[in-house]
Amino acid sequence: MRDTTWQSEVHQWACTATGTSLAPMEQVRTEAWSSVWRTRGRGVTYWFKENTPPLTPEGPVHAALADLAPDQVTAPVAWDVERGWLLTLDGGQVLQDLYPERRGMDTAAIRTMLRSYAQLQRATIGHGERLRAAGLPDRSPATAGQTLLQVATAMAAAAPDDPRHITEHELARLVAGVEAVEEAARCLQQGPVPLAFDHNDLFPRNVFVPRAHWSYRFFDFGESLWSHPFESLVMLAWEVVHQHKLPAGDIGLLDLDHPGIHDVFDAYLEQWRDFADLPTLRRLTGAALQLAPVYRAERWMEILARRPHALDRHGGTPRAWIFDIERPVRL
């Protein structure tokens, strides 16, 4: 719990931003990456978020996305990059809460949501310079090999009792995997689909369900990147694997050539058919899913470096992601 001086400062900032006398701030949750509070004024609910560095540019990135894709992103009310503060309007129910028994993974809903998400991504094509200027990190495929080496080296440097630590043998495995990662990166670089916005945490909890005159709307852009758009599918891919109880195993080829996967992902890939045929788009998705774990691990290493108190709960997460680079993906 933050002290009363901080709460008073946030409350005054939010009142000034809204031009409204707001109710006292109510803490909703605190995680390693952010703290979230809620308030109300004149019948309107607002959400306040304080991001952990390096996620503090979320405000201007959110605003730029809302300008580029107003049908998929609601503009933020206010933000302060230096303090990592963001104030947004309540967007209603999130997709995960609509189907809690399935963690939001209703097939029909996910298919429709992915079509809307593809439209958000397509609206950002050609606007990389603007989004990077707003603070969106550039993680184009060309950076994947070097990023993998940096992350692996940092993990090897952690103390042996640190849950992020990897052994010398594991470091050698990851270094040997750079070649495969760079090959997947070349596949994406030479492919026909341009770079675009990548949410990097696309999941039903970060999507508002449609309301009157609204399509699905997206939020929580703190971990987002400028990258290959198909990398966004990595979180959903694993969720569909678990949902269909596919024999993913722990090593070797990750075979996602399954009707349950195609049923979900083809709805998304169809939105890119003007760039390539479906088999080509599936092949590109496989390459993107091999790269995406590099950037998931990198983000977690950055967050945990700033929030070491979270190591007990989240310290194993970088390991959970980074070794997936050893697994080619077939879709």
What is the rounded CA–CA span in Å between residue 230 and residue 271?
Answer: 12
What is the rounded CA–CA span in Å between residue 272 and residue 19?
Answer: 42
What is the rounded CA–CA span in Å between residue 32 and residue 39?
Answer: 22
* CATH fold group of domain 1-90: Phosphorylase Kinase; domain 1 (3.30.200)
Mutual angle of helices 278-306 and 144-157, in 10-degree steps: 30
What pLDDT is stored for residue 153 in this prediction? Answer: 99
Residue from 220, 275, 225 nearest 73 by CA? 220
What is the rounded CA–CA span in Å between residue 106 and residue 96?
Answer: 9
What pLDDT is stored for residue 243 in this prediction? Answer: 84
What pLDDT is stored for residue 244 in this prediction? Answer: 80
Q: Give the pTM.
A: 0.95
CATH 3.30.1280.10 assigned to domain 94-330? The reply is: no
Mutual angle of helices 107-124 and 58-68, in 10-degree steps: 90
Encoded tokens for 88: 């947004």
Q: Which residues contact 81 (CB under 8 A, 6 or more apart)?
A: 56, 57, 59, 60, 135
What pLDDT is stored for residue 312 in this prediction? Answer: 96
Task: List C-alpha distances in Å: 87 to 14, 39, 40, 266.
Answer: 7, 10, 12, 35
What pLDDT is stored for residue 249 in this prediction? Answer: 67
> What radius of gyration do the chain's Cα atoms show?
20
226 membership: H or E segment, kind and range: strand 225-227
- Pairing relation of β-strands 225-227 and 217-218? unpaired
Which residues of the chain does CATH 3.30.200.20 include? 1-90
List the pLDDT tens digit at each of the 331 positions of the chain.
Answer: 678 999 999 999 999 999 999 999 999 999 999 999 999 999 999 999 999 999 999 999 999 999 999 999 999 999 999 999 999 999 999 999 999 988 889 999 999 999 999 999 999 999 999 999 999 999 999 999 999 999 999 999 999 999 999 999 999 999 999 999 999 999 999 999 999 999 999 999 999 999 888 899 999 999 999 999 999 999 999 998 888 887 776 677 888 888 989 999 999 999 999 999 999 999 999 999 999 999 999 999 999 999 999 999 999 999 999 999 998 999 9
What is the rounded CA–CA span in Å between residue 68 and residue 74?
Answer: 11
What pLDDT is stored for residue 1 in this prediction? Answer: 61
Residue from 304, 323, 310 nearest 55 by CA? 304
What is the 3-state secondary structure of 256-308?
CCCHHHHHHHHHHHHHHCCCCCHHHHHHHHHHHHHHHHHHHHHHHHHHHHHCH
- Please check whether residue 289 is in contact with residue 231, taking contact to mean a CB–CB distance below 8 angstroms: yes
What is the 3-state secondary structure of 6-35?
HHHHHHHHHHHHHCCCCCCCEEEEECCCEE
Which residues of the chain does CATH 3.90.1200.10 include? 94-330
What pLDDT is stored for residue 253 in this prediction? Answer: 84
3-state class (DSSP) for residue 312:
helix
